[in-house]
Structure 1
């Protein structure tokens, strides 16, 4: 293989690796939010990173405690779904836009809500690691409706595995087995 083709392949591989590491970083904050895993959340931000939430600017290092407190105060269960994702990389700086759908079973579990918006992120690679330098979050759709599973009025065929907001969640189990776990 000639040197030009090899260099082109290296650039393509670097771009693909960067995109995946950036998406992994963004998804890590959402997983951390749902599992109340402060380390996953704060580990996605540089030490001087910031998270804009409405008119409030929160340090990335404080965002884990803030998110866990806020989600715990308003909901029994929450799930953040990162959907469409675009990313522009220029050296060690990237700008990403990720659509997110947040689902929340309200306290008391009679109602639930959905918030949909976007994470608009500037990420930087420092010491070889991509992390968020600035996150601006939008909320563009908000809906509310009746909750079914958390209030004990399960749907036909329920008995599904129930997640938890800590490291007892089945997603942390290694190796994963079919044993244990709370059910709806």
Structure 2
């Protein structure tokens, strides 16, 4: 076994760094879409799609950058809040194209104030690097299971004083710098 030359070692390190950098950028893209969704931040949601991207959620097939507005209206008509939790994430990178599978668990609280619905599915994404930026070119969403529960505990007083999220940029996650005494919040 021969020792690697300095040039070979640098080439290998560059290849590894490119892979890690690409993986993080792709994961940030997927996570930012979910964050934008849960904060109803249409600008953030649109930013993760290429202009000609397509998003398929069930019977709804939308131009990617327009998905945020359409889905926020649909969600707001039925739910008062929701959280999309991306869990298992795999990614196969081939040059400037990657194929990803991201498991998602969505928790959505109904307008009746009593019901919560859990959904399990996956995002199947083709992500492309264009002009040096990774964005979604095609997203297909699967639905694997659903479940319903009771959320009345939230309004029982057991969680009085906990921060309550909002569907806009007044949500404390946007505060810079995040402070304890200067960041206004809604509470239960």
Do they superpose with TM above 0.5?
yes
Separation in 2, partners of 1:45, 1:149: 37
SS at match of 2:152: coil
In 1, Cα distance between the equivalents of 2:172 and 2:110?
22
Tell me how far 1:148 sits from its aligned partner: 3.1
CA contact (8 A) 1:77 1:105 kept: yes
Q: Which residue of 1 aligns with 2:156?
A: 153
State the secondary structure of the residue aligned to 1:175: coil
Q: Which region of structure 1 is more displaced relative to structure 2, 2-11 or 139-148? A: 139-148
Whole-angstrom distance in 2 between the partners of 1:174 and 1:130: 25
Confirm or deny that 1:166 pairs with 2:181.
Answer: no
When structure 1 is superposed on structure 2, of 132-141 and 51-60 the one drifting more is 51-60
What residue in structure 2 maps to residue 131 of structure 1?
135
Tell me, yes or no, if the aligned pair for 1:84 and 1:98 is still in contact at 8 Å: yes
Tell me whether 1:47 sits opposite 2:65 in the alignment. no
Q: Which of 66, 74, 78 is matched with 1:74 structurally?
A: 78
Unaligned runs of 5+ in 1: none
Q: Does residue 1:15 correspond to 2:54, yes or no? A: no
Cα deviation per residue 1:30-51 (whole Å; 9 max; x = unaligned)? 0011000001111110000000
Distance, in Å, in 2 between the alignment partners of 1:22 and 1:66 is 24
Deviation per residue, 1:103-145 (Å, 9 max, x gap):
0010121111001100000000000000000000011010011
SS in 1 for 2:187: coil
Aligned residue pairs total: 182
Task: Give the root-mean-square deviation of aligned CA atoms.
Answer: 1.2
Structure exhibiting the larger radius of gyration computed from Cα positions: 2
- Scaled by the length of structure 2, the TM-score of the pair is 0.93
Runs of 4+ in 1 over 4 A off after TM superposition: none
Q: Flag structure 2 segments of 5+ consecutive residues without an equivalent.
A: none
Match of 1:182 in 2: 186
